[in-house]
Amino acid sequence: MKFEMTIGGAPAPAAARFDVANPAGGLAGRAPNGTLADLDRAVAAAQEAFASWSQLSHADLQRYCEAVTAKIAEHAEELAQLITAEQGKPLNGLGSRFEMGGAQAWAGYTAELSLPVKVLQDDAEGRIELHRKPLGVVGSITPWNYPVMIAVWHILPALRTGNTVVIKPSPLTPLSTLRLVALLNEVLPAGVLNCITGDDQTDNLGAAMSAHPGIRKIVFTGSCTTGEKIMTAAAPTMKRLTLEMGGNDAGIVLPDADPQAIAEGLFWGAFINNGQTCAALKRLYVHEDIHDAVCAALVEFARTIPVGPGSDESSILGPLQNPMQHAKVSRLVAAAREKGQLLLGGNPGKGLFFEPTIIAGLTNGDPLVDEEQFGPALPVIKYNDVEEAIAAANGSPNGLGGSVWSSDIAKACTVAARLECGSVWINKHGAIQPNAPFGGVKSSGLGVEFGEEGLAEYTDIQVVFA
């Protein structure tokens, strides 16, 4: 299949292309290497489409979003195959088909949301109404870990609120987004949804989007470093921003937890998508009374997980997505092995594979604990006082998610309330939902996604005094 950018509702061929690697080996495909001129054309198309799209009724916008949801469902398997080819995650387990299921669920739920006029006052002195109005062109910059699902998280609320979109996926995983946008243009008016891609070497399209005067909002999912650059570039044009950035999520296991009962939840909290998930469990603090039992149960469960190429229907975990991430995990694990106790794994595999790794005997200050590893390596830290654990969990510049594990829900909730993070789970980790706002505190982000609160981030407020 030949992949093209979509600008103004039509394929937009590029003068050059770049290779997109398959993390399991070989080539996933070739993507168009867009230019700054392509970006300008995409923004102009989105601006032109905004004039009529923003005037549609809420009912019409909802119907279009429902058609988008149906189109995603219709092509779910095709897109799952593309995700596996370029991202590396398995088709099965919590892999590409799981991602497409999430994309459909989020699209369907968002299509049904609305932000009705809010009456602030209606009395003899007058009537005051709060209206939510679309912003204009939304620029979406997506990462390589969940290329289709995160694209849906960005696109659907923008469309539902009457905005138009220019999306730029990661150069590591552009193919599934190019195909997604081409498919959605079959049911959307021309110019409403545009897609540009580039290798980030010839032209840095993301940086240009952040500064582009024709873009009114940037929604970004990715690293803290890139998010900070976006904030700086967006300041002169006062863009609205939603930034969902890195997390170094901590989990605290209280002494009354049942190690066998929580082992599976702990494993998937940490190793979902091979640990390449912003809100994955990255640091695990376990009370000394059950530390060894929790470690043993985790290792026992981890040994049952098949690792292999994503295209193999029996694989549950695949390779890491790219060489840079593989090198980072390898470095952090090598340093951790020198100090800590290696309980499982620890060895880089062939190519970009890295076996699930669990290391005990570490503390805050060790690189595997302090840095977001974004890979299949979990440090387990022993503690003897819950105050110590809370302080250690909060001792990070990040604050995306956290979790508390206990057989006493009330006690767990008391501890959870003291964690400095945007989302906190009890006896699970990372279980986000389309009806619950999701976002980070501290350095993990700005604004929220999902639900009515997330939808409102794509609007300006206008108050009408009558």
User: In this prediction, what percent of the chain has a pLDDT beyond 90?
Assistant: 99
Q: Say how many C-beta atoms besides its own lie within 10 A of residue 277's C-beta.
A: 23
Token pair 């767990």 in the structure block, residue: 412
Q: Say how many C-beta atoms besides its own lie within 10 A of residue 92's C-beta.
A: 18
Q: What is the 3-state secondary structure (H, E, C) of 131-179?
A: EEEECCEEEEECCCCCHHHHHHHHHHHHHHCCCEEEEECCCCCCHHHHH
pLDDT digits (tens, 9 = 90+) for 135-152: 999 999 999 999 999 999
How many residues does this entry show for the chain? 466
- For residue 89, the 8-state DSSP code is -
pLDDT digits (tens, 9 = 90+) for 388-404: 999 999 999 999 999 99
Give the amino acid at 40. D
Q: What's the CA gap between 50 and 68, in Å, rounded?
A: 18
Would you state the pLDDT for residue 286? 98
SS3 at position 20: strand
pLDDT digits (tens, 9 = 90+) for 224-247: 999 999 999 999 999 999 999 989
Would you state the pLDDT for residue 11? 98
Rounded to two decimals, the pTM is: 0.98
Q: Give me the helices (H) in 185-285, please.
A: 205-211, 224-234, 259-271
Give the residue from 301, 310, 257 showing the smallest Cα distance to 96: 310
Token duo for residue 222: 């990715």
- Are 166 and 194 in contact, with CB atoms under 8 Å apart? yes
Would you state the pLDDT for residue 195? 99
Looking at the chain, the number of H-run helices and the number of E-run strands are 15, 20
Compute the average pLDDT of residues 71-99: 98
Q: What's the CA gap between 453 and 459, in Å, rounded?
A: 11
How sure is the predictor about 80, in pLDDT bands with cuts at 50, 70 and 90? very high
User: In this prediction, what percent of the chain has a pLDDT beyond 70?
Assistant: 100
SS3 at position 464: strand
pLDDT digits (tens, 9 = 90+) for 335-370: 999 999 999 999 999 999 999 999 999 999 999 999
Using alpha carbons, list the distances in angstroms from residue 338 to 291, 355, 366, 435. Answer: 20, 18, 11, 44
How sure is the predictor about 416, in pLDDT bands with cuts at 50, 70 and 90? very high
Would you state the pLDDT for residue 359? 98
Helix crossing, 58-74 with 175-184: angle to 10°?
Answer: 130
How sure is the predictor about 276, in pLDDT bands with cuts at 50, 70 and 90? very high
Catalytic residue IDs: 244, 278
Token pair 């250690």 in the structure block, residue: 392
Would you state the pLDDT for residue 407? 98
- The CA-CA-CA angle for residues 175, 178, 183, to 5°, reads 125
- Are 195 and 5 in contact, with CB atoms under 8 Å apart? yes
Question: What's the chain's average pLDDT?
Answer: 98
Would you state the pLDDT for residue 16? 98
Please list, residue by residue across 336-363, b when 16 or more beta carbons sit within 10 angstroms of its beta carbon and e when fewer do.
beeebeebbbbebeeebbbbbbbbbebe
